[in-house]
Structure 1
Amino acid sequence: MNADDYAPKRRLREKAFRPNWSLDITRPWNCSEDTWDGVFTEHVLEHVTYSQAMHVLKECLRTMKPGAWLRITVPDLDKYVACYSKGGADGALGNFPHPAVAISFLTQMHLHRSAWNGDLFVRVLTELGFSDARVVAYRQGTDPRLIRDDADKSHESLYVEARKPPR
């Protein structure tokens, strides 16, 4: 089963991966505990505040089956900070007219409301009760069903996975 948030532009873009149902990720999810075999979210959590992201991650933990994996992809704060440190020029991210524009792009463009790096994500996931939280590479991960990484976003992305502990 596949769920998606209410973002119609994404649903139209992913015609081959149509959702079975839609939900508002910032509200309680209308599904029971231990429903999902795994959860994949790509470039979504940066669009909600940190407190809303905590809610989303708690709902992931509640609704995932024991032993299931979570795969998260967001823009990587560390890559943008490195670009800033290089004066706004970075081979992977491109060239920004000023270093501050790189940070502005991460934090304000596309309605971003939070910024994440690997250390923060691993800490948050562990504190919420996930196990085996770790940063992974593009197209690398534990559950092959969840490796759906968009190649167009690989240059700027952070990839994190964690597991709902088995009972």
Structure 2
Amino acid sequence: MAPELEFPGWDWEDPDTLAGALDGFSEGLARCDSLKAVDGPWPRTREQLAALGVTGIEFAAFRTEHPSGLGTDLAPLHTGDETTEPGRIYRVDGGSLFTQLDIGDPLPFDDGSVDWVYAEHLIEHVPLPVAIRWLAEARRILAPGGLLRVTTPDLAGYVEGYRAQEVRGGFFARHRRRLRMMRVGPPMPERRAFMLNQIFYFYGHRWIYDLDELRHAVSEAGFAPGALRECAFREGSRQDVADLDTTFRNDETIYVEVNA
């Protein structure tokens, strides 16, 4: 008997149907047992954030695993009775801190107010100009020498997978096998053109990066030219930040860091 699928409505051939399945998945991730609004004024300054125990911000995270992180996402968290609102910070299930932020807007923190910024599979979901503005805002709120770590699907891996003859241990085969083992829908089609197309047209992606495109984006955002460096999964200049990398889709991901 085939294992029960995590997403029974998943249809690899239909981007619109897949978008609906992903919305349902996100809705489940955004549910929590308790939300408690943090009292006091909005913490703009480094000192105010430190008073909450916050040294850095993880974007696109309902629940950050960093002990001194502030998680944030465009979508709200919710219980059965309460939903988060922008402009407030909440403690989630008695643990991590969360606030709603739109990365298309200026970040509501002072210059140099945090030591690190982390975003996993975020910038591919917005147009390039929005990503560059967010990167510039991340640079602004980082203290001198502070760390930005970004992960995103790697276009080079997909192009190389397309150009290579598909073999048992090739990138496309490994990627399909990983998702199948995680019960993410039915098996992916094995067509090379499908494998390349889905990285552009599924998941709400708006711009796909390789290392050179990431260098361009961070340079346009005001980081020092040539300062971007490629890293490996859960390896980097700050282990506590690199440890935020998740295993899901790490086979297709490029990991980069740059310092303010």
- TM-score normalised to the size of structure 2? 0.56
Is the 2:75–2:100 Cα contact (8 Å) retained in structure 1? no
Structure 1 CA distance for aligned equivalents of residues 245 and 206 of structure 2: 22
Change in 2 beyond 3 A, CA 1:87/1:100: farther
RMSD after superposition: 2.3
Greater CA drift, 57-66 or 115-124: 115-124
- Aligned counterparts, 1:1-167, within 5 A: 1=54, 2-8=70-76, 18-86=96-164, 90-94=172-176, 96-131=189-224, 132-147=227-242, 148-164=244-260
| Structure with the larger RCO, 1 or 2 (CA within 8 Å, 6+ apart) | 1
CA distance 1:16–1:122, change in 2 (3 Å): farther
1:65 is paired with a residue of what secondary structure? strand
Which structure 1 residue ranges, 5 or more long, are not aligned? none
> Any unmatched runs of 5+ in structure 2?
1-53, 55-69, 78-91, 177-187
CA distance in 2 between counterparts of 1:139 and 1:68 reads 18
Q: The residue matched to 1:126 in structure 2 has which SS?
A: helix
For residues 139-167 of structure 1, the C-alpha deviation after alignment (integer angstroms, 9 at most, x for no partner) is 11001221111112211101010000xxx
User: Given residue 103 of structure 1, which amino acid in structure 2 is its aligned partner?
Assistant: L
Identity %: 28
Q: Which amino acid aligns with 1:53?
A: A
1:142–1:68 CA distance, 2 compared to 1 (3 A): same
Distance 2:164 2:141 in 1: 42
TM-score, normalised with respect to structure 1: 0.85
Count of matched residue positions in the alignment of Structure 1 and Structure 2: 160
**Which is helix-richer, 1 or 2?**
1
